[in-house]
Amino acid sequence: MLNISENSINQYVNVERFGAFKVLKKSNFHRIPLFFGLVILVVFLISLFLPWTQNIMAKGYVTTRSPEQRPQSIQSVISGKLEKWYVREGDFVNAGDTIVYISEIKSEYFDPDLVSRTAEQVQAKSQSVQSYEDKMIALENQFRALKDGLLLKQQQITNKLQQARNKIQMDSIDLVAYQANLEIARNQQDRTKELYDKGLKSLSELQEKQWKVQEVQAKVTVQENKLLNQKNELLNLKIELSAVEREYADKLAKSQSERQSAMSGKLEAVAATSKLRNQLSNYSYRQQFYFITAPQSGYITKTIKKGVGEIVKEGSDIATIMPAVYDLAVEVYVKPQDLPLLKPGDDVRLRFDGWPAIVISGWPEASTGIFDGEITAIDQFISDNGYYRVLIIPEKSRKDWPEQLRFGTGVNTFMLLNEVPLWYEVWRQLNGFPPDFYGVKEKDDVKLKAPLKSVK
């Protein structure tokens, strides 16, 4: 009884007659709380000296290191109108499977026979190139014929020139002979006249000598005219040679000009043919883009364009595909002050969203439901959010990561550092100090050389 009333009944009731009151008097309940308090205090003090593994906690998500294994958008290379879908969201497709078919919307590509017509243009231009080639060959032959004709003409006129020079030389010799005969005839005339004056010669003999002088004088005059004509003929031949060379030079230049024009036309035809072939290749290749195919095997996760008949522009996203095979990794962000404590190869403990786990960050051996990882890369520059990105891959020698993990799953990470007493960790957390990291430094064996002896 509590005896809290002012009217006590202890004097009227003998409580020792009851067994319960006897038991209560024998028990010392006031010592039990003290005992448990001492036990808890001892356990707490002992636990303060237990080893605690310092760690850096960070949040991230599941990703992959290979860019080609990440979700990617399927885009349209050309503008077009959606005509037919061949897949639905969630379908698995192999590389090269058709996703959607689009039709042409640009007027310059409406012709259904565009490829065949362009091929005909290419064929026509190719024949034009061959025609120019034949023309160039004909002009080249003409040029050679003109050069041969010029050479023959030059040789012919050169021979005539030589003949004219020879005739001039012979006429010059004949003229000298006639002039000598004239001189002789004149001398004979003079002597005959002297003898006639003395009466020694008759008049007929004197007249005969005078006629002889006139005859020789006539021959000299004729020969001089003949020599002059030969010299004029030589001059005419030289003029003719120059005229022939100029004439053939004009013909050769014209032929060469026509050949260059033919070559220019051929080059233009070749350029036009190449351009048409380029267009033909573009038209043929463009028709392949009407069927948009899967770049790799994977699952269609989302269709961005929806209705049939919707217009899509080149480069616009049509659907999203997730590769079927990818290597898992975890991407987390750490504070700049924790970055010096991390290096590739450090152990990491991970807890994935959706997988139950009991985590004691400082005692990783006592944690359950967590998975092991290893730091494989640390960014060399800070991210836009002010943190450094760290990539973590599975630790192959330990428990494998769950097969049901999906790209983008959230994860909590515990990057293990140094082991310290629990009291030190509590003291560090209360003061807000960063974790400690002590690397074991191997002492290099320093080999001391013997001091050099001084040379006296």
SS3 track for 129-160:
HHHHHHHHHHHHHHHHHHHHHHHHHHHHHHHH
Q: Mean pLDDT score of the chain, rounded to an integer?
A: 81
Q: Examine the pLDDT at 3 and tell me if it is beyond 70.
A: no
pLDDT at position 437: 44
Q: Which long-range contacts (CB under 8 A, 24 or more apart) does 256-264 make?
A: 256/143, 258/139, 259/136, 259/139, 259/140, 259/143, 262/132, 262/135, 262/136, 262/139, 263/132, 263/136
Give the pLDDT confidence score for residue 399 in this predicted structure: 80
Q: Is the pLDDT of residue 363 over 80?
A: no
In the predicted structure, residue 130 carries a pLDDT above the cut 90: no
Give SS3 for 372: strand
- Tell me, yes or no, if the two domains 50-67+326-431 and 71-104+290-323 fold the same way: no
Per-residue pLDDT reduced to its tens digit, 179-194: 888 888 888 888 888 8
Q: Which positions ≥6 away from 174 have C-beta within 8 Å? A: 223, 226
**Is the model more confident about 6 or about 218?**
218
Quote the CA–CA distance of 80 and 315 in Å, as a whole number.
Answer: 11
pLDDT in tens, 83-101: 899 998 889 999 989 999 9
Banded pLDDT at 336 (limits 50, 70, 90): confident
**36 vs 24, 43, 45, 126, 245, CA distance in Å?**
20, 10, 14, 105, 134
- Residue-level pLDDT at 179: 85
The encoded tokens of residue 206 equal 């004197």
- Which of 3.40.50.880, 2.40.30.170, 3.40.50.300, 2.60.40.2550 is the CATH number of 50-67+326-431? 2.40.30.170
CA 289 to CA 102: how far, in whole Å? 8
pLDDT at 449: 39
Top-confidence residue, 421 or 97: 97
The encoded tokens of residue 265 equal 């036309």
Q: pLDDT > 70: what percent of the chain?
A: 82
Res. 10 pLDDT band, cuts 50 70 90: low
- pLDDT of the residue at 92: 92
Residue 65's contacts (CB-CB under 8 Å, 6 or more residues apart) are 327, 329, 376, 377, 391, 393
Can you give the pTM of this predicted structure? 0.54
Phi, psi of 298 (to 5 degrees): 175, -165
pLDDT at 379 over 60: yes
Q: Model confidence at 450, in pLDDT bands (50, 70, 90)?
A: very low
Distance, CA of 316 to CA of 367 (rounded, Å): 48
DSSP-derived secondary structure letter, 404: T
Tell me the CATH number of domain 114-285, given options 1.10.287.2610, 1.10.150.120, 3.30.70.260, 3.40.50.1220: 1.10.287.2610
pLDDT at position 20 over 80: no
Residues of the chain above pLDDT 90, percent = 9
Distance CA 323, CA 307 (A): 25
Distances (CA, A) of 21 to 2, 3, 284, 305, 344: 12, 14, 107, 85, 71
Domain definitions of the chain by residue range = 50-67+326-431, 71-104+290-323, 114-285
How far is it, in rounded angstroms, from Cα 63 to Cα 46? 42
Q: Which two tokens stand for residue 387?
A: 């943190």
Give the tens place of pLDDT for each residue, 31-52.
Answer: 667 777 787 877 777 776 677 6
In which band, very low, low, confident or very high, does the pLDDT at 455 lie, cut at 50, 70 and 90? very low
Which residues make Cβ contacts (< 8 Å) with residue 353, sequence separation at least 6? 409, 410, 411
Close Cβ partners of 244 (under 8 Å, ≥ 6 residues apart): 150, 153, 154, 157
pLDDT of 291 > 50? The answer is yes
pLDDT in the model for residue 391: 92
Distance between CA atoms of residues 328 and 394, nearest Å: 8
411/423 Cα distance (integer angstroms): 29
Select the highest-mean-pLDDT range: 6-15, 271-280, 364-373.
271-280
Q: Provide mean pLDDT across the span 238-243.
A: 89
| pLDDT in the model for residue 443 | 38
Pair 323, 68: CB distance under 8 Å: yes
Please identify which residue in the block is written with the tokens 């120019």: 132
Amino acid at residue number 382: I
Beta bridge partners of 374: 347, 393
In this predicted structure, what is the pLDDT of residue 31?
Answer: 63
For residue 179, give every residue at least 6 positions away whose Cβ sits within 8 Å of its Cβ, in sequence order, or none: 220
pLDDT score for 371: 87
Q: Confidence band (pLDDT; 50, 70, 90) for 30?
A: low
345 SS3 class: coil
* Residue 25 in this model has a pLDDT that exceeds 70: no
Q: What is the distance, to the nearest Å, from the Cα of residue 359 to the centroid of all Cα atoms in its chain?
A: 50
**What pLDDT is recorded for position 172?**
87
| Residue 332: per-residue pLDDT | 92
Which stretch of 58-62, 358-362, 381-385, 415-419 has the lowest confidence by average pLDDT? 358-362
Token pair listed for 377 = 């890369």
> SS3 of 127, please?
helix
CATH tag for 71-104+290-323 (out of 2.40.50.100, 3.20.20.70, 3.40.50.12280, 1.10.1060.10): 2.40.50.100
Q: Which amino acid type is present at position 410?
A: G
User: What average pLDDT does range 434-447 have in this prediction?
Assistant: 44
